[in-house]
Amino acid sequence: MQNGLVRFFEIALIATVVFLNGWLIQTPLPDDWGTSELDKYSQAVGDVAFLDAYLKRNPNSWEACFARAQAYAINGIWSEVASNCDSAISLRSVMSGNKPEPKIYRLRLKALYELDDNQAALKDLDFLMQSENAKSEDLAFHSLIKRRLGQTDQALDEANQAIFRDAKCAEAYLSKAWVLLDLNRTKDAFENAYQACKLKPNLVMPYVIMAAVFNEKGETAEALVQCKNGLLCDATCGAVYWQRGVAEDKQQKFEDALTSQNMALSLATSNDIRAQAFAARAVTLSHLNRSELASEDCDRALALDPGNAIAKAVKQQLRQDN
Amino acid sequence: MKSNGRAIPRNNDESTFATDSRDLPLYPVSLLLVPFMVLTAVLADQVYRYRDFINYDCAFYLLCSKLLLSGLQPFEHFVDLLPPLIFYFSVPPWWFSNLTHVPIESTWSILVAAAVVASGLSAIFVLRNAVNVAVRDWLLIGPLLCGFMLFNLIVFFHFGQREHLFVLTLFPIFLLRWLRWTSSLSERFETSIPILSTVLGIACGAAVFVKPQLLLLLIAIEMSLSANSPHRTQWRSILPTSEVKALASTLIVCAICSLFIPNIGEYWNRWVPFLLNGYPAFNSPSLLEFSLPDGHMIGNRYIAFGICALSAILLKRCSLCAPLLAWTLSGLLVYMIQGRGWAYQSIPFVSGYVLLISVVVGIVVTSFLDFLGRTSKVSYLNKFALFYSGFDRVGSRAGAEPGTETEPQAQTQPVLTSSDMTKFATISFILFAAAMIPLNSILFKNSMVTGRAFNLLDGLLERETKPGDKVVVLHTALPHAHQFLLKRKLIPACRYIWCFPLRMTGFLRDGESGTPMAEFANTEENKVVDEIRRDIEKTQPKFVIIEAWHSGPTGWNLYQSLETHQFTKNALKQYVPYGECDNCAVWKLEEPKR
């Protein structure tokens, strides 16, 4: 009897220590080495994997949700960024006595902007503007969204305010450059884009704006150089292909231009770029005398952006030709 | 007291023995079975919790084997760089899945878990036939098996990878070879399950054939075992045993079978030269991080290398250290030779490392007990120290004929019961397992906590496709494409399910023109792009999705690379640009106008 008990205790002890090993080996602990040396993709993968496991054990941690959103943002998986920010915000709001955390709203609005969900992004921006934590970067985003929504004057005003607040905010110059480009003030647009580029060389959009200005001036070779620079920053940016197509169209390489506009459309994430690419493709198609297709593209562009001047002009031209 | 298969010298007391290695009882079965069952239960829980999870490469084999089952042929309808026999080996999981209606990804995990159990049970069976083992080796049998089971827990992100399956087949063979070279295998082994060694040899041979570079591990382990064996002069009888013969025969049979694989000429004539030249395109500059693209398993690598160095110091303390060090270092060598830095390629190294750690920790624990025994006045510990030091005496005359020196010395030795020895084994095992608890987090990482496949494109494909639809996903590093195609039952409609060749041609050209290599790369690239175009034209997939981000440090980009051949203009005539999704360019088949 006593031997049996001892044996049972012995086996239970063996099972317990072995189980503890098995259990602990699956428990996430902070990855304390080497991640800084990894490329950004591997780092983000490791972070997300770790946080997945961590959140299973700590489902109420808003910090972990936010950290996961940041990890997804490294690779531009914006839908995941937005949903993780949602979770972080709701978890934090449940915890009594905690004020809303601006950095979560800031990241979510960036994700929403990338996902072309302008109204939702505006809500987050309004929240940030009302709080005391608004930064120049927030104003710049506000300006960008207002521009997308066609409120050009307000957009310009906010971009100026953002620059006034922080003269080293690249996003502020970028938003101002966009608005000025819309207003056909190409020289000013170029200067602001150039400034943004100097402040943050890895931003792709300043290259797009500079290419657009060169295209306006008919300096297509220069425009193509800017497109090449832009693609080195971000090969998935449809807007770069849009301007490359415009330059190729001006060089009368219509087939190449058509390809570039198709690539722009295959990579477009927002309706403003989509509308511009459809309009630019309509121009090229009209040059190729494919009027019916050009007209269809004009309709698509106008459906996305009723104020698109190029689409209107091409449509008008096509009507006259017929 | 069970007999260990040899005649055991007995004293007057029926259950007392002198501390000669020949007199050791069989290693306590509870120290083998209890850890095995507990860790198998933990593994089963892991399999259940991650029942929807499947590794990208495993999903790739299964996708290709499904294409085989539907009558398609390798190198015509799907292409890979490694010997294509793996696709045929991946057919049986489909039979099980179809028979049981369990989803294929769960079937895969269950079958791999079954392989872990089979490997563990084979190892236990082999270890239960260990006789005449030196005391210090005998005490490490439990820690070694426990280490093997722990390894299977950290490897789950790569569960069923070729390297993992290789380790599962290698472990029992390793134990078998270790016992053969130390003349510690019971005669009973060959008679009780005579076919086991042959089966183990066949399994290991098949695993080696699908990744031939792993043969290096087998050679290194065998050389280490023979070099450290007192019986190395008897190699003529130790080498040609049933498992070795089975392994060699399996390699030959697999090679012959491969000759009958359809289009195998294409593999040897086109893809092997291409692979030899172009595979460095995927090389990583940071090999020793063991972490690309995801799912690393090594904890602090400096400690890891420190332990390997420590084991080199302990070589003479235990006959397991040298072969395990050979396993670890040859695993590292194979990993380095491949040059990718991908975490799963470090599996052979990591498995050796985990086993080595188990042995090193076991040695430290038993040495500690020995030290306590020598310095304290606790009689039980004194007994342990005497038991433990018996090794030196026996070890120093290893190879001597039994009976020549033992008899006179045995008279002066303390008498230990078999129950004492079993208790010593139990105590040292419990201490080993307790010591491993805090060390776990420093020494290992669970690959499920360091690896994650982002569910890219899931939303789009879920919304826009139905099972059975054809899609083309052209990618070189999209971590989720294969799994999603498999789970969603989508049909890959282009032979380049993994579009590796274009990255290789880009690497081979590397900005040069006119050189023979650049010419070769241009010719191959034109051919590959043309094949993709023809596949799309023929199969008319609903979506063509192309990876558009920069891959690798050179900034190479698949979409741009394809576009240098006017791909969208020539191959996607019937497609309309759909828009970007998860950094991929998406094209959709144009619906006919009404």
Span B513-571, pLDDT tens digits: 778 888 888 899 999 999 999 999 999 999 999 998 766 556 678 998 898 898 998 99
- CB-CB under 8 Å, A232 with B294: no
- CB-CB under 8 Å, B35 with A75: no
pLDDT at residue B553 in the model? 56
Q: Report B:436-475 residues touching A (Cβ under 8 A).
A: 436-437, 440-441, 444-446, 448-452, 454, 456, 459
What confidence tier does A5 reach under pLDDT thresholds 50, 70, 90?
Answer: confident
Residue A71's alpha-carbon distances to A46, A111, B290, B341, in angstroms, are 9, 13, 20, 22
B406 versus B567: the higher-pLDDT residue is B567
- pLDDT of residue B501 exceeding 80, the answer is yes
Helices within B444-574 (DSSP H only): 447-450, 458-464, 481-487, 500-509, 516-539, 558-563, 567-571
- pLDDT of residue B412 exceeding 70, the answer is no
CB of A233 within 8 Å of any CB in chain B? no
Cβ-nearest to B153 among A14, A26, A238: A26
Q: Which residue of A has its CA nearest to B39?
A: A22
CB of A271 within 8 Å of any CB in chain B? no
pLDDT at residue B22 in the model? 52
What is residue B414's DSSP assignment?
P
CB B326 within 8 A of CB B226: no
- CB-CB under 8 Å, B293 with A41: yes
B29, B34, B302, best to mutate vs chain A, most A CBs in 10 Å: B34
- CB-CB under 8 Å, B568 with A22: no
Chain B residues with CB under 8 Å of A274 CB are: 579
- How many other β-carbons are positioned within 10 Å of the β-carbon of residue A99? 9
Chain B residues with CB under 8 Å of A265 CB are: 576-577, 579
Tokens of A289: 């005398």
Q: How much of chain A exceeds pLDDT 70, in percent?
A: 93
pLDDT, tens digit, 9 for 90 and up, residues B286-297:
666 665 667 788
pLDDT at residue B275 in the model? 86
- CB-CB under 8 Å, A50 with B449: yes
- CB-CB under 8 Å, A52 with B434: no
Q: Report B:552-591 residues touching A (Cβ under 8 A).
A: 553, 555, 557, 559-560, 563, 566, 568-569, 572, 576-580, 582-583, 585-587
B553 versus A233: the higher-pLDDT residue is A233
pLDDT at residue B285 in the model? 65
- CB-CB under 8 Å, A15 with B426: no
What confidence tier does B16 reach under pLDDT thresholds 50, 70, 90?
Answer: very low
pLDDT, tens digit, 9 for 90 and up, residues A107-161:
999 899 888 888 898 888 888 887 777 788 888 988 988 888 888 899 999 899 9
Q: How far apart are CA B359 and CA B334, in angstroms?
A: 23
pLDDT at residue B356 in the model? 94
- CB-CB under 8 Å, A26 with B449: yes
Q: How far apart are CA B240 and CA B248, in angstroms?
A: 10
A33, A35, A42, best to mutate vs chain B, most B CBs in 10 Å: A42
Q: Which residue of B has its CA nearest to A26?
A: B446
Average pLDDT over chain B reads: 85
Q: How far apart are CA B276 and CA B308, in angstroms?
A: 32
- pLDDT of residue B396 exceeding 60, the answer is no
B466 versus B417: the higher-pLDDT residue is B466
CA distance B234 to chain A (A): 39
Cβ-nearest to B450 among A17, A50, A238: A50
What confidence tier does B17 reach under pLDDT thresholds 50, 70, 90?
Answer: very low
B268 versus A47: the higher-pLDDT residue is B268
CA distance A107 to chain B (A): 18
CA distance B589 to chain A (A): 13
DSSP B530-551: HHHHHHHHHH--SEEEEE-SEE
Q: How far apart are CA B320 and CA B362, in angstroms?
A: 11
Cβ-nearest to A24 among B441, B445, B550: B441
CA distance A232 to chain B (A): 7
What DSSP element (H or E) covers B579? strand B575-581
> What's the ipTM?
0.85
Q: Which residue of B has its CA nearest to A241?
A: B560
CB A226 within 8 A of CB A211: yes
DSSP A24-35: HTTS-----SSG
Angle between helices B162-181 and B196-210 (to 10 degrees): 140
A16, A25, A259, best to mutate vs chain B, most B CBs in 10 Å: A25
What confidence tier does B1 reach under pLDDT thresholds 50, 70, 90?
Answer: very low
Q: How far apart are CA B515 and CA A69, in angstroms?
A: 47
B312 versus B451: the higher-pLDDT residue is B312
CA distance B93 to chain A (A): 27
- pLDDT of residue A96 exceeding 70, the answer is no
pLDDT at residue B353 in the model? 94
Tokens of A282: 């309509």
CB of B153 within 8 Å of any CB in chain A? yes
Cβ-nearest to B150 among A22, A46, A49: A22
Q: Which residue of A has its CA nearest to B479?
A: A45
Cβ-nearest to A25 among B286, B446, B559: B446
Residue A265's alpha-carbon distances to A240, A270, A280, A306, B281, in angstroms, are 11, 10, 11, 18, 30
Q: Report A:155-194 residues touching B (Cβ under 8 A).
A: none
Q: How far apart are CA B320 and CA B111, in angstroms?
A: 30
Mean pLDDT, rounded, for A191-208: 93
A77 versus A258: the higher-pLDDT residue is A258
pLDDT at residue B403 in the model? 42
Chain A residues with CB under 8 Å of B296 CB are: 46
- CB-CB under 8 Å, A236 with B448: no
- pLDDT of residue A67 exceeding 80, the answer is yes
What confidence tier does A53 reach under pLDDT thresholds 50, 70, 90?
Answer: confident
Nearest to A282 by CA among A322, A316, A237: A316
What confidence tier does B511 reach under pLDDT thresholds 50, 70, 90?
Answer: low
For A227, phi then psi, to 5°, come to: -65, -40
What confidence tier does B416 reach under pLDDT thresholds 50, 70, 90?
Answer: confident
CA distance B255 to chain A (A): 37
CB of B100 within 8 Å of any CB in chain A? no
Average pLDDT over chain A reads: 87
CB of B419 within 8 Å of any CB in chain A? no
Chain B residues with CB under 8 Å of A23 CB are: 42
pLDDT, tens digit, 9 for 90 and up, residues B74-108:
999 999 887 888 999 999 999 999 999 999 999 99
Cβ-nearest to B579 among A27, A80, A265: A265
- CB-CB under 8 Å, B568 with A76: no
Q: How much of chain B exceeds pLDDT 70, in percent?
A: 88
What confidence tier does B2 reach under pLDDT thresholds 50, 70, 90?
Answer: very low
pLDDT, tens digit, 9 for 90 and up, residues B201-247:
999 999 999 999 999 999 999 999 999 888 777 787 888 899 999 99
Q: Report A:235-264 residues touching B (Cβ under 8 A).
A: 235-236, 238, 255, 258-259, 262-264
CB of A132 within 8 Å of any CB in chain B? no
CA distance B463 to chain A (A): 15
Chain B residues with CB under 8 Å of A269 CB are: 579-580
Tokens of A308: 């698109």
Chain A residues with CB under 8 Å of B46 CB are: 26
CA distance B21 to chain A (A): 25
What confidence tier does B385 reach under pLDDT thresholds 50, 70, 90?
Answer: confident
- CB-CB under 8 Å, A52 with B441: no
Burial class (CB in 10 A: 0-12, 13-18, 19+), B564: exposed
Q: Which of A127-136, A155-164, B106-115, B473-482 has the highest mean pLDDT?
A: B106-115
pLDDT at residue A28 in the model? 58
Burial class (CB in 10 A: 0-12, 13-18, 19+), B528: buried
pLDDT, tens digit, 9 for 90 and up, residues B355-366:
999 999 999 999
Cis omega (within 30 of 0) for bond into B103: no
- CB-CB under 8 Å, A45 with B563: no
pLDDT at residue A33 in the model? 40
- pLDDT of residue A213 exceeding 90, the answer is yes
pLDDT at residue B222 in the model? 94
- pLDDT of residue B199 exceeding 90, the answer is yes
Helices within B271-346 (DSSP H only): 272-278, 301-313, 321-338
B560 versus A29: the higher-pLDDT residue is B560
- CB-CB under 8 Å, B34 with A49: no
CB of A99 within 8 Å of any CB in chain B? no
Cβ-nearest to B548 among A27, A37, A267: A267
What confidence tier does A7 reach under pLDDT thresholds 50, 70, 90?
Answer: confident
Tokens of A87: 């979770």
